[in-house]
């Protein structure tokens, strides 16, 4: 089994994160999956950004939930990263799904509901996914596991994954209780015996955020199901070398 490579917030190392440019690059390098984050605006539109505030990745300040989608579209979401990306806009989830309509890999949608309450965000996201990605793979993740439980009530067939920093005792029990198929574990937790315990119970492990080549190599050696990384092109090259070396040893 090959360890899948998920591009974290798009190709975050060389493009402004969670923008159309970042997602285009993630597709271009051949990522197996793309991870993104969703919030709700003041006028109840689903938009893609990591932080609850626009401060870090735009030229404005304030909570996303205080802006309408038209307000957000006036912001520059690229200059903070590089002058080359001046004028990059905050994308709506609809725009991203349109861009990724032919992307055959896994789309990982993270609900950023662990700090702000966004009533109804799960239903809105499911509606958009049904319109744009009904026959393509999607996994929903969140640190707020209530969001994942709501997802399973909305769509019992939804593929959900627990986002976790820490390792749990008997980690498969809680995962099964929530109805999740995977744990998205912080790198330091994933690179332990916990990953094998989960996999023995049929639960996938995706490690985040794996950026050091030596740790990428360890995920391959351990047979971890996927890594989420800011450097998908580096991980893909290393995986190719790892697979070639493994084939020679057979």
Q: Please, what are the domains in the chain?
A: 4-40+107-249 (3.20.20.190)
Q: pLDDT tens across 115-131, in order?
A: 999 999 999 999 999 99
User: Residue 186 has what DSSP assignment?
Assistant: E
Q: pLDDT tens across 204-217, in order?
A: 999 999 999 999 99
Q: Which helix (H) or strand (E) holds 35?
A: strand 33-40
Of residues 75, 61, 103, the one with CA closest to residue 19: 75
Residues contacting residue 169 through CB under 8 Å, at least 6 positions apart = none
Q: Active-site residue numbers?
A: 8, 50
Of residues 136, 84, 92, 143, the one with CA closest to residue 113: 143
Q: Considering the chain, what percentage of its residues have pLDDT values greater than 70?
A: 100
CA 217 to chain centroid, in Å, comes to 21
Instruction: Give the three-state DSSP class for 165.
Output: coil
Q: How many CA atoms lie within 13 A of 90 on its CB side?
A: 31
On whether the CB atoms of residues 154 and 148 are closer than 8 A, the answer is no
On whether the CB atoms of residues 100 and 131 are closer than 8 A, the answer is no
Looking at residue 65, what is its pLDDT? 98
Is residue 249 over pLDDT 90? no
Mean pLDDT (the chain, rounded): 97
Q: pLDDT tens across 61-118, in order?
A: 999 999 999 999 999 999 999 999 999 999 999 999 999 999 999 999 999 999 999 9
pTM over 0.95: yes
On whether the CB atoms of residues 129 and 97 are closer than 8 A, the answer is yes
DSSP class per residue in 117-162 = --TTHHHHHHHHHHHH-TTS-EEEEES-HHHHHHHHHH-TT--EEE
d(CA 145, CA 177): 11
Of residues 183, 179, 180, the one with CA closest to residue 168: 183
Q: pLDDT tens across 142-160, in order?
A: 999 999 999 999 999 999 9
Is residue 250 over pLDDT 90? no
d(CA 82, CA 78): 7
Per DSSP bridges, beta strands 226-229 and 182-186 are unpaired
User: Residue 77 has what DSSP assignment?
Assistant: S
Angle (deg, nearest 10), helices 145-154 and 171-178: 40
On whether the CB atoms of residues 140 and 151 are closer than 8 A, the answer is yes
User: Using 50, 70 and 90 to split pLDDT, how confident is the model at 1?
Assistant: confident
Q: Which helix (H) or strand (E) holds 189?
A: helix 187-190
d(CA 134, CA 120): 20
What's the average model confidence in pLDDT over 56-64?
Answer: 98
């Amino acid at each position: 089994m090959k360890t899948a490579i998920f591009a974290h917030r798009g190709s975050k190392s060389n493009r402004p994160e969670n923008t159309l440019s970042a997602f285009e690059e993630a597709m271009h390098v051949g990522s197996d999956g793309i991870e993104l984050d969703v919030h709700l605006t003041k006028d109840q539109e689903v938009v893609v950004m990591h932080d609850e505030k626009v401060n870090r990745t735009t030229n404005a300040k304030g909570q996303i939930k205080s802006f309408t989608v038209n307000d957000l579209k006036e912001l520059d979401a690229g200059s903070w990263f590089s002058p080359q990306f001046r004028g990059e806009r905050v994308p709506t989830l609809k725009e991203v799904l349109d861009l990724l309509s032919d992307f055959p890999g896994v789309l990982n949608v993270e609900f950023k509901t662990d700090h702000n309450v966004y009533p109804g965000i799960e239903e809105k996201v499911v509606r958009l996914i049904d319109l744009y990605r009904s026959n393509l793979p999607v996994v929903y993740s969140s640190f707020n596991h209530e969001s994942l439980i709501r997802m399973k009530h909305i769509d019992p067939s939804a593929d959900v994954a627990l986002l976790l920093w820490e390792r749990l005792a008997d980690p498969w029990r809680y995962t099964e209780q929530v109805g999740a198929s995977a744990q998205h574990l912080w790198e330091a937790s994933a690179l332990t015996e916990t990953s094998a315990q989960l996999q023995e119970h049929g639960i996938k492990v995706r490690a985040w955020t794996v950026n050091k080549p030596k740790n990428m190599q360890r995920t391959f050696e351990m047979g971890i199901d996927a890594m989420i990384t800011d450097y998908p092109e580096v991980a893909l090259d290393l995986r190719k070398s790892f697979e070639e070396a493994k084939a020679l040893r057979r």
